[in-house]
């Protein structure tokens, strides 16, 4: 990319479009989850813990693209809310699992999240969504 293209080229525009799409999707999922007493940020953490039981705070942070500090604060809130259980692992590392209440919340949220995502991607065919996913995975 030429220096003169920075801020104006296709890569810049693609990056800005990804950001805008992410924001719209985030807002739609937050709106769908609000009546259930949670947010997209919390839901993503809960699903990550469900998929990676006994994950450390750092491991959850890596999977969700968060900082260790912000993940520590989020996990403390989820533990305090009774959605996540925390146990000591090796050394001073905590391990995390969903509580029964956390599993129930994830199950109640799956339908609304699925609907919000279907609406967000509705301009694309299933084949185009798969192609988009493949392109993003390459990045």
Using the CB atoms, write b or e for 92-102: b if 16+ within 10 Å: eebbbbbbeeb
- Assign 10 a pLDDT band (cuts: 50, 70, 90): confident
The pLDDT of residue 110 is 96
Coil, strand, or helix at residue 56? strand
Predicted structure pTM score: 0.84
Query: Where do the domains of the chain lie?
Result: 3-138
Question: What percent of the chain has pLDDT above 70?
Answer: 94
Domain 3-138 is of which CATH architecture?
A: Orthogonal Bundle (1.10)
How confident is the model over 21-45, as pLDDT tens digits? 999 999 999 999 999 999 999 999 9
Q: Which two tokens stand for residue 96?
A: 């995390």
The H-assigned helical ranges of the chain are 10-33, 40-51, 57-64, 68-80, 100-120, 126-138
How confident is the model over 48-107, as pLDDT tens digits? 999 999 999 999 999 999 999 999 999 999 999 999 999 987 777 889 999 999 999 999
């Amino acid at each position: 990319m030429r220096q003169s293209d920075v801020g104006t080229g296709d890569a810049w525009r693609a990056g800005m479009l990804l950001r805008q799409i992410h924001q719209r999707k985030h807002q739609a999922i937050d709106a769908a989850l609000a009546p259930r007493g949670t947010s997209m940020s919390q839901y993503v953490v809960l699903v990550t813990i469900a998929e990676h039981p006994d994950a450390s705070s750092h491991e959850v942070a890596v999977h969700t693209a968060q900082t260790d500090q912000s993940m520590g604060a989020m996990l403390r809130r989820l533990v305090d809310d009774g959605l996540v259980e925390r146990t000591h692992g090796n050394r001073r590392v905590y391990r995390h699992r969903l509580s029964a209440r956390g599993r129930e919340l994830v199950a109640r949220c799956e339908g609304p999240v699925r609907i919000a995502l279907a609406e967000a991607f509705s301009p694309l065919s299933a084949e185009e969504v798969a192609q988009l996913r493949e392109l993003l995975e390459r990045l």
